[in-house]
Amino acid sequence: MTDLALIRNFAIIAHIDHGKSTLADRMIEICGGLQKREMTSQVLDSMDIERERGITIKAQTVRLKHKAKDGKTYTLNLVDTPGHVDFSYEVSRSLAACEGSLLVVDATQGVEAQTLANAYLAVDGGHEVIPVLNKIDLASAEPERIQQQIEDVVGIDATDALPISAKTGEGVKEVLDALVERLPAPEGDADAPLKALLVDSWYDQYLGVMILVRVQDGYLRKGIKVRMMGLGSTHDIERVGVFTPKNEIVEALGPGEIGFITASIKDVSECEVGDTFTEERRQTAEPLPGFKPSVPVVFCGLFPADSDDFERLRESLAKLSLNDSSFHYEAETSAALGMGFRCGFLGLLHLEIVEERLEREFDLDLVATAPSVVYHLRTTQDEEFDLHNPADMPDPTKIRAIDEPWIKASIMVPDEYLGPVLALCQEKRGEQTDLTYAGSRALVTYRLPLNEVVFDFYDRLKSISRGYASFDYHLDGYQESNLVKLGILINGEPVDSLSMVVHRDQAEARGRALCLRLKDLIPRQLFKVAIQAAIGGKVVARETVSAMRKDVTAKCYGGDVSRKRKLLDRQKRGKKRMRQFGNVEIPHEAFLAALKMGED
Amino acid sequence: MAETRKDSLAVYVHWPFCLSKCPYCDFNSHVRDSVDDARWRRALCLEIDYWAEQTPGRHVGSIFFGGGTPSLMAPETVAAVIERIGMKWSLDAAAEITLEANPTSAEAARFAAFREAGVNRLSLGVQALDDTALKFLGRQHDANEARAALDLARRIFPRFSFDLIYARPEQSAAAWRQELSTALDMAAGHVSLYQLTIEKGTPFYTRQRDGEINPPGEAHAADLFDITNALAATAGYSAYEISNYAKPAHASRHNLAYWRYQDYAGIGPGAHGRLRTAENGARALRQHAKPETWLEAVERVGHGSAEARPLEPTEQAEEMLMMGLRLHEGINLVFFTERTGLTLEQAIRPGALTRLGDGGLLSHDGQNLRATDKGRNVLNSLLSELFA
C-alpha cells in the first residue's frame, strides 16, 4: 500500500496524432517500467485499430515510479482515456479516477474540437489541468501562439505550459516533476468500508474479464467478497494487481490506488463502467456519484454480404462484445437482406470502429443499413415508446408526436472552409449557437439533429474542408420534429430494411435517390419491377425495371441435359437468398449493394 | 408432328475429331494428327453391343452421328455402325439417320458414300453465308463451298438441314434479314438457327472478357430473334423448338426424342444417354469424354461408361420440363405423369404455375403445358422460377 501523499493519478487529453501515446511511452521508459527492447511502439494502444487510427478505445493504465526533486519516490498512475466523445461517459469515469490531467497539444497544430470536449470534461470534473506543448522540435512549432490559443479556447491559464518533444524526450522529465508538484494527492480513508470505482473492463484470454478500478476508501484484497452496487451482483476477488505496464500481482489496493482485479466474471456486460465496488460484509453507505448504465444512441442493422457468413458474424459479435460492454446486438431477420443483427452503439465512431474491427479482425464483408437514432414516439393513445428501428414505426395516423435527439456540435475549421461548413450545417437543419475565432481558425457551435449527423455529415464535413475540420459533439436533449418514415416499396410491398426516418422536407429527394440507385442494382426479372418511395400512403418517387426479353439457351440436346440441370440447381440455391415481391424475386444482394453504394 | 413408338429408342453416335477447333465451340471435340479408323470402328460396334444388351428388344427410331465432325468418318465406319445397330436392336424401316457434315469440298466428296452407308438426312454446318463471318467463326469453308454443299445434299439426300449462327458481334438487323432470306430460299424443310452463345472456356469467352468482341445486348438479340421467327414463318417454317424451324413433317425425329424426353443411348466419347430399363429404372449415362480414355475402356471392358446414375422422379420431372418447354407443342401432361410418376403440381414450386400463367409466359389447358412465345424467349429464368 502506498502512502496517499506519494500518489498522483492523472489522465492525458490529446487529439489524434498530437503525441499522447508517444509521451506515455517516454514516461514509461524514463521511469523504467519497460526495458527499451520491450517497448513496442505505443505501448498503451494495444489494438491494431487503436494504433492505426490513433484512437484509444479502452481505458488503459500504467503505474510509474518517479523520483522527484524532493528525493522521494512517487507512484504516478497514468489512466489513458478513450479519445472520442462517443465514449464521453467512459472518458468522464476515467477522469473521475484521477485528480489531474495533462492537456497535450501539438504546437504545430493547435487545439482541436475533440481535445476541447475532453478538456471541458476534465475542468468540469475539478481536475488540475497541466497544458503541455508537444512537438517543439519541429520548425513549424509555434508554442507562444498555441499557448495563447489554449487560454482563449479552453479558458485555462497556460502560463506554465510545458514545452516538450515526446519524440526526442526533451522536457518529459519536467512533465513528471510537474505532476508531482502541481497535482493534488488523492484523498481517501483507509479505515472506511471499501469504496472503489469501476473504470473499465475488458476480456483477457488468459485471465478472463479484467476490471480496472480506482480505490477511494478501504482495501481491495484477494479473497474478499465484493458487491457491485449499481448492478447488485457479488463476486469473490481472485486477483489484485497493477500494470507496470506488465501485469503485476499485488497484495492489495488501498486508497488512491489504481489497478486491476479479476473475479471469475464471464462477461464484460456484467461490469458497467462507473459502478461502485464495496465489500459485501462491510458495505459503504453511499456509492460513488455519477453512475449511468450505458445506453446506445445509434442503431443500425449489420448483415453479412455473403449470407453464408451469418454464423461467423454471430461468433465474431460475441467475441467483440467480450471486450465492449457498450455495444449491443440482437439477431434480426430481414426479408430483403436475409439474416443479420440489429446493433446499438454509443455513437457514429463507435459504430465505425465495430464495423471495421469485424471486417478486419474477423475478415467479414459486412453491409450496414442506414444508421438510425432513437426516437421518442407518442401515440394518439398517449402511449410513449422508444423507436430503435424505422421499420417498426407505426402508421402515421397513430402518431401524435415524434421527438428526435439533438446534439451540440463543436467544429473547428480553418477560416477559408468556414463558408461551406456553415452551409452544410444549415442544410442539416442546424441552429448556430456560437462562432468565435482563435487566430485563423473558427470555432463554430451548432445544435443539430443527430439523425442528420448520422446520415453523411461527417464524410461531407471532411470532404468540404479537405480534412481540416475537426468535429465533436455531445447529446443535447430531444425535441419534437416533423419526421416521417420514408419507405421503399417493390411491386407494392415494403422493403423493411430500407425504410428510414427523415425530416419531411428531405423525404422526397432521399426517396428519388434511393429509387434510382435500386433501379441500377435490381437485375431484370421475368416481369417488370416497380420501385417506389412512399411517405405514409403517398408515393413520392417511382422507377421501373423493365421485364427481361431474352434469356434462353440456344442449343440444348441430349448431352446438355445434365449440365443444364446443374445450372438450375445452383439457381435454386441462390433462390434461398431472394425475397418475393409480387410476381418477382429479388436477390438480397441487390438491396445490400444499394446500402453499400450509400457509403461512397 | 411425327409420332414415335413408345418403346422407341434414339441412338446418338459421337465422333470426337475435328480438323480444327472453332473459337465458339465447347463441344467434346479434339484435333488429332491421325485416327485409326478400323480400331475406332471396332470400338463403336463393341459399345453398341454393350448398350443393346442392356436394352434388349427396343426399336431404334433414329440414329444421329454428331461431333466433332462426323463427316470426317470413313463411310465404312458409318455403314458398320448403322448395320450393327440394326443387328443388335431392331431398326425401324423408316428410321431417321442423320449425319452432321461440314460443307468443305473434301467432305462433300463423301456425301454419296454416306448416303450409300444408310444416312438419309444430312445436317450441314453452314453457320454463315458471308465469308468474313465464316472466317470470324473459324470455319474452314467459304460461302461458295457452302452453297455447293447444299446443292449436292439436295441431290443426294431425301432430307437435309443446315445450321446458321446469328446475333454475331456487329451483326445488324438488316444484314441478318438479308442473310436469312437467302438461306431460307436454299432450305429444304428444316433449318437450325442458333444465336451465338459465348461459352466459358472457349477462345471467344476470353476475347469477350478482354473487350475484343461485343456480342449484341439483350434488346438487340431479342429483336434479331423476332426477325428470325417472322421471316421463317413467312417462308412456311414454324419454330417447333427454340432454335429449330421446320416445314410440316420435316422436324428432326431424333432431336424431338431428346425434347420429348424419350430414351436415348449415347455411343462414343462424351456421349450422354437417358435409358429406362426394368432392371435399373431411369438412369443418366455418360461416357468417358477423352477419345483415348474411351477407346481403351471399350477395348478393355466393352464399354466406355463413366457414369450411370439413377434419376429420382423429381430429377426426371425437371429434365422433362427443361426439354419439353423448348418445344412449341409443350409437354403432354399424361405422358409427364406416366414418365415421372409425379403430377405437374408435385413437380413444381407452388404458385409458380399461376404466376407464370397470369404473366403470359406459360399456358396450361389441362392436357398440355407449354411456354408461350414470350415464355420461350426467357426460358432459363422461367425454369428457375418453376423449380426453385
**What is the per-residue DSSP string for A463-496?**
HHTTT--EEEEEEEEEEE--EEEEEEEETTEE-G
What percentage of chain B carries pLDDT values higher than 70? Answer: 98
Contact B218 A574 (CB under 8 A): no
Helices (H), A150-192: 172-182
Query: Taking a C-beta distance cutoff of 8 angstroms, is the pair A202, A210 a contact?
Result: yes
Grid cell, residue A144, equals: 507562444
Facing residue for A552 by CB, picked from B258, B286, B379: B379
Which chain B residue has its CA at the smallest distance from A548's CA?
B378
Residue A385 has pLDDT above 60, yes or no: yes
Give the pLDDT band (50/70/90) at residue A51.
very low
Q: A471 φ, ψ to 5°?
A: -140, 140
**Range A291-296 average pLDDT:** 75
Grid cell, residue B216, equals: 449484341
DSSP string over A56-121: --S--EEEEEEE-TTSPEEEEEEEE--SSGGGHHHHHHHHHT-SEEEEEEETTT---HHHHHHHHH
Query: Taking a C-beta distance cutoff of 8 angstroms, is the pair B15, B294 a contact?
Result: no
Strand runs (DSSP E) across A415-549, as ranges?
A: 431-438, 441-449, 470-480, 483-490, 493-494, 500-503, 529-535, 538-545
Mutate to test the interface with A, among B378, B379, B386, B387 (most CBs of A within 10 A): B378
Local structure of A540: helix, strand or coil? strand
Which 3-state string (H, E, C) describes B240-265? EECCEEECCCCCCHHHHHHHCCCCEE
Q: Is the peptide bond before A340 cis (omega within 30 degrees of 0)?
A: no
Grid cell, residue A10, equals: 492523472
Query: Other C-beta atoms within 10 Å of B210: how many?
Result: 8
Residue holding cell 446493433? Answer: A343
CA-based nearest residue to A346, from A369, A327, A319, A365: A327
Which chain A residue has its CA at the smallest distance from B199's CA?
A553
Q: Is the peptide bond before A494 cis (omega within 30 degrees of 0)?
A: no
- Pick A89 or B373 by higher pLDDT: B373
Residue A1 has pLDDT above 80, yes or no: no
Which residues are CB-contacts of B243 (< 8 A; sequence separation ≥ 6)?
A554, A555, B192, B193, B194, B195
Mutate to test the interface with B, among A491, A526, A550, A555 (most CBs of B within 10 A): A550
Instruction: Tell me the pLDDT tens digit for each residue of B145-171.
Output: 999 999 999 999 999 999 999 999 999
Pairwise CA distance, residues A444 & A430, whole Å: 12
Residue holding cell 489512466? Answer: A79
Grid cell, residue A204, equals: 483477457
Which 3-state string (H, E, C) describes B278-347? CCCEEEEEEECCCHHHHHHHHHHHCCCEEEEEECCHHHHHHHHHHHHCCECCCEEHHHHHHHHCCCHHHH
CATH assignment of B314-386, among 1.10.10.920, 3.40.50.1220, 3.40.50.720, 3.40.462.20: 1.10.10.920
Instruction: Tell me the pLDDT tens digit for each residue of B49-68.
Output: 999 999 998 999 999 999 99
Pairwise CA distance, residues B142 & A171, whole Å: 90
CATH assignment of B9-258, among 3.40.640.10, 3.10.20.340, 3.20.20.70, 3.30.379.10: 3.20.20.70
Pairwise CA distance, residues B139 & B143, whole Å: 10
Instruction: Tell me the pLDDT tens digit for each residue of A174-200.
Output: 999 999 999 999 999 999 999 999 998
Residue holding cell 425530416? Answer: A503
Domain ranges of chain B: 9-258, 314-386
Which chain A residue has its CA at the smallest distance from B355's CA?
A583
Contact A562 B284 (CB under 8 A): yes
Residues 492-551 of A with CB under 8 A from B: 524-527, 548-551
Which residues are CB-contacts of A168 (< 8 A; sequence separation ≥ 6)?
A137
Q: Parallel, antiparallel, or unpaired for β A276-279 and A195-204?
A: antiparallel
Contact B381 A561 (CB under 8 A): no
Contact A583 B358 (CB under 8 A): yes
- Give, for A348, the enclosing helix (H) or strand (E): helix A348-361
Helices and strands of chain B, counted as H and E runs: 17, 15
pLDDT of A33: 62
pLDDT of A37: 55
pLDDT of A57: 46
Contact B355 A575 (CB under 8 A): no
- Pick B52 or A41 by higher pLDDT: B52
Side chain identity, residue A236: D
Q: B196 φ, ψ to 5°?
A: -60, 125
Instruction: Tell me the pLDDT tens digit for each residue of B72-102.
Output: 999 999 999 999 999 999 999 999 999 999 9
pLDDT of A53: 46
Q: Give the C-alpha distances (Å, rounded to integers) separating A404 from A378, A448, B105.
A: 12, 10, 84
Distance to chain B for A526, nearest Cα, Å: 7
pLDDT of A56: 46
Contact B270 A564 (CB under 8 A): no
Local structure of B326: helix, strand or coil? coil
Query: Taking a C-beta distance cutoff of 8 angstroms, is the pair B64, B24 a contact?
Result: no
Q: Which residues are A339's β-sheet partners?
A: A333
Contact B222 A549 (CB under 8 A): yes
Query: Taking a C-beta distance cutoff of 8 angstroms, is the pair A591, A495 a contact?
Result: yes
Grid cell, residue A115, equals: 481535445
- Give, for B350, the enclosing helix (H) or strand (E): none
Helices (H), A307-347: 310-321
Contact B381 A554 (CB under 8 A): no
Residue A411 has pLDDT above 60, yes or no: yes
Considering A314-323, A450-459, B242-251, the range whose residues carry the highest mean pLDDT is B242-251
* HSE-CB of A517 using CA atoms within 13 angstroms: 20
User: How many Cβ pairs closer than 8 A exist between chain A and B?
Assistant: 104
Contact A571 B384 (CB under 8 A): yes
Mutate to test the interface with B, among A561, A563, A569 (most CBs of B within 10 A): A561
Pairwise CA distance, residues A224 & A103, whole Å: 38
Grid cell, residue B364, equals: 396450361
Instruction: Tell me the pLDDT tens digit for each residue of A249-285.
Output: 999 999 999 999 999 887 777 888 889 999 999 999 9
Contact B258 A561 (CB under 8 A): yes
Grid cell, residue A381, equals: 393513445
Residue A377 has pLDDT above 80, yes or no: yes
pLDDT of B312: 94
Which chain A residue has its CA at the smallest distance from B262's CA?
A558
Facing residue for B315 by CB, picked from A565, A571, A585: A565
Give the pLDDT band (50/70/90) at residue B372.
very high
Which chain A residue has its CA at the smallest distance from B349's CA?
A572
CA-based nearest residue to B89, from B301, B261, B275, B339: B275
Pairwise CA distance, residues A485 & A487, whole Å: 6
pLDDT of A597: 52
DSSP string over B6-61: TTEEEEEEEE-B-SS--TT--SS-B--S---HHHHHHHHHHHHHHHHHHSTTPEEE
Pairwise CA distance, residues B82 & B79, whole Å: 5
Local structure of A246: helix, strand or coil? coil
Give the pLDDT band (50/70/90) at residue A596.
low
Facing residue for B194 by CB, picked from A555, A561, A572: A555
Pairwise CA distance, residues A165 & A169, whole Å: 6
pLDDT of A366: 84
Query: Taking a C-beta distance cutoff of 8 angstroms, is the pair B282, B310 a contact?
Result: yes
Q: Is B218 on the interface with A (CB under 8 A)?
A: yes
Which chain B residue has its CA at the smallest distance from A559's CA?
B272
Q: Parallel, antiparallel, or unpaired for β A252-253 and A220-221?
A: antiparallel
Facing residue for A575 by CB, picked from B66, B196, B388: B388
All domains of chain A, ordered by start, with CATH? 4-182 (3.40.50.300), 195-279 (2.40.30.10), 298-368 (3.30.70.870), 376-481 (3.30.70.240), 485-599 (3.30.70.2570)
CA-based nearest residue to A413, from A478, A352, A470: A470
Residue A600 has pLDDT above 50, yes or no: no
Grid cell, residue A55, equals: 484512437
* HSE-CB of A314 using CA atoms within 13 angstroms: 10
Residues of A in contact with B258 (CB under 8 A): 557-558, 561
Contact A550 B221 (CB under 8 A): yes
Contact B388 A553 (CB under 8 A): no
Pairwise CA distance, residues B120 & B143, whole Å: 24
Residue A578 has pLDDT above 80, yes or no: no
Q: Which residues are B122's β-sheet partners?
A: B99, B160
Instruction: Tell me the pLDDT tens digit for each residue of A581-594.
Output: 888 888 877 887 77
Query: Residues A312, A318, A323, CA angle at the centre, nearest 5°?
Result: 130
Residue B2 has pLDDT above 60, yes or no: no
Instruction: Tell me the pLDDT tens digit for each residue of A466-518.
Output: 877 888 777 889 999 999 999 999 999 888 878 889 999 989 998 998 899 89
Which chain B residue has its CA at the smallest distance from A525's CA?
B381
Give the pLDDT band (50/70/90) at residue A460.
confident
Pairwise CA distance, residues A559 & A316, whole Å: 46
Give the pLDDT band (50/70/90) at residue B1.
very low
Give the pLDDT band (50/70/90) at residue B4.
low
CA-based nearest residue to A366, from A52, A592, A594: A592
Q: Is A285 on the interface with B (CB under 8 A)?
A: no
Q: Is B324 on the interface with A (CB under 8 A)?
A: no
Contact A559 B356 (CB under 8 A): no
Query: Taking a C-beta distance cutoff of 8 angstroms, is the pair A243, A260 a contact?
Result: yes
Contact B219 A565 (CB under 8 A): no
**Range B110-129 average pLDDT:** 97
Q: Is B273 on the interface with A (CB under 8 A)?
A: yes
What percentage of chain B carries pLDDT values higher than 90? Answer: 93
Give the pLDDT band (50/70/90) at residue A220.
very high
Strand runs (DSSP E) across A292-353, as ranges?
A: 298-304, 328-334, 338-345
Instruction: Tell me the pLDDT tens digit for each residue of A93-141.
Output: 888 999 999 999 999 988 887 788 788 888 888 899 999 999 999 999 9
Which chain B residue has its CA at the smallest distance from A575's CA?
B388
Distance to chain B for A522, nearest Cα, Å: 15
Side chain identity, residue B273: G
Facing residue for B382 by CB, picked from A526, A556, A562: A526
**Range B225-245 average pLDDT:** 97
Q: B284 φ, ψ to 5°?
A: -100, 125
Side chain identity, residue B358: D
Residue A40 has pLDDT above 80, yes or no: no
Q: Is A574 on the interface with B (CB under 8 A)?
A: yes
Pairwise CA distance, residues A456 & B1, whole Å: 65
CA-based nearest residue to A58, from A74, A47, A48: A47
pLDDT of A539: 95
Facing residue for B381 by CB, picked from A548, A555, A561: A548
Considering A109-118, B323-332, B359-368, the range whose residues carry the highest mean pLDDT is B323-332
Pairwise CA distance, residues B262 & B316, whole Å: 11
Pairwise CA distance, residues B311 & B283, whole Å: 5
Give the pLDDT band (50/70/90) at residue B236.
very high
Grid cell, residue A468, equals: 481540416
Which chain A residue has its CA at the smallest distance from B27's CA?
A559
